């Protein structure tokens, strides 16, 4: 009898690098995730029930330490924000910010973003989606791990409302041009800045310490804003 081939594992867009998980961050995950987190399950999220109100929903994939997400939530209390991040130290850091600033318009999921989008985000439920500084996987043999691929673009299209915006940013020019090609070729999206154009940094994207440090070193940053049109 021929042995069965082992099941193929999906290509992940991340490596779980826990880094330094401080005692305060660990405590925040344990004590605050029940308050700001999304209950586990496979059913689509009811955003009105989750936030206790009906409001536009903006989602950030991979919020890092939560600096930009917390800033956007602070500036726009009329919007409901959902953040997805797989690395627990970043989740803990954001939870600390939310509690310290009493930000009630943010909810957090610590899981793989593609899984969450596929299973838990209802179609046409998002007004905007953000993807800021994803892992660029610079080596050619790792490009298949880059998050922005046709499959993700198709998935995001279904989750955005007509007219909804997808705002991306990266400090790797090669990845920026890859994103531009993939999104330009995708069905159902228009470049909000103009065909083949990168966007100036919208005021809606806060500058983070990470980006300010890069600017001092002369690093470029490329923003893209695409609108779902069909």
Pairing of strands 222-228, 160-170: antiparallel
Does any domain span residue 111?
Answer: yes
| Number of separate domains in the chain | 1
- pLDDT computed for residue 9 by the predictor: 43
Lowest-pLDDT choice from 13-22, 31-40, 84-93: 13-22
Q: What percent of the chain has pLDDT over 90?
A: 83
Q: Is this model's pTM higher than 0.75 or not?
A: yes
CB 93, CB 30: distance < 8 Å: no
Does any domain span residue 176?
Answer: yes
- pLDDT computed for residue 18 by the predictor: 55
- Report residue 8's pLDDT band, with 50, 70 and 90 as the boundaries: very low
Catalytic residues: 135
Does any domain span residue 10?
Answer: no
| pLDDT tens figures, 39-92 | 999 999 999 999 999 999 999 999 999 999 999 999 999 999 999 999 999 999
Question: Could you give the count of Cα atoms lying within 13 Å of 121 in the half-sphere of its Cβ?
Answer: 30
End-to-end CA distance of the chain: 50
Q: Assign residue 47 the CATH number of its domain.
A: 3.40.50.150
Does any domain span residue 5?
Answer: no
Does any domain span residue 31?
Answer: yes
pLDDT of residue 218 exceeding 60: yes
Phi-psi region of 66 (alpha: psi -120 to 50; beta: other; left: phi over 0): left
Does any domain span residue 6?
Answer: no
- CA 59, CA 128: separation in Å to the nearest integer? 6
Four-CA torsion 180, 186, 191, 196, nearest 10 degrees: 40
- pLDDT computed for residue 214 by the predictor: 78
Average pLDDT, the chain: 91
- Report which of residues 79 and 5 the model is more confident about: 79
| pLDDT tens figures, 125-184 | 999 999 999 999 989 999 999 999 999 999 999 999 999 999 999 999 999 999 999 999
What is the residue range of 64's domain? 23-228
Does any domain span residue 17?
Answer: no
Does any domain span residue 4?
Answer: no
pLDDT of residue 5 exceeding 90: no
Give the residues across from 112 on adjacent strands. none
- pLDDT computed for residue 210 by the predictor: 76
């Amino acid at each position: 009898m021929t042995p069965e081939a082992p099941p193929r594992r999906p290509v992940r867009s991340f490596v779980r690098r826990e880094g330094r998980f401080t005692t305060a961050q660990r405590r925040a995950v344990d004590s605050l995730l029940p308050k700001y987190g999304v209950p586990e399950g496979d059913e689509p999220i009811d955003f009105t029930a989750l936030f206790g109100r009906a409001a536009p929903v903006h989602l950030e994939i991979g919020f890092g330490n939560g600096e930009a997400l917390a800033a956007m939530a602070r500036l726009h209390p009329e919007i409901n924000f959902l953040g997805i991040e797989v690395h627990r130290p970043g989740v803990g850091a954001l939870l600390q910010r939310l509690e310290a600033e009493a930000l009630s318009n943010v909810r957090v999921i610590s899981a793989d973003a593609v899984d969450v989008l596929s299973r838990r985000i209802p179609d046409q439920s998002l007004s905007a989606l953000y993807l800021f500084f994803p892992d660029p996987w610079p080596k050619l043999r790792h490009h298949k791990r880059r998050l922005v691929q046709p499959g993700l673009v198709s998935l995001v299209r279904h989750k955005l409302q007509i007219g909804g915006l997808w705002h991306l940013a990266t400090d790797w020019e090669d990845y920026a041009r890859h994103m531009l090609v993939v999104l330009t070729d995708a069905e159902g999206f228009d470049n909000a800045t103009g065909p083949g154009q990168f966007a100036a940094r919208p005021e809606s994207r806060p500058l983070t310490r990470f980006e300010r440090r890069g600017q001092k070193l002369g690093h470029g940053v490329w923003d893209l804003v695409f609108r779902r049109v069909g």
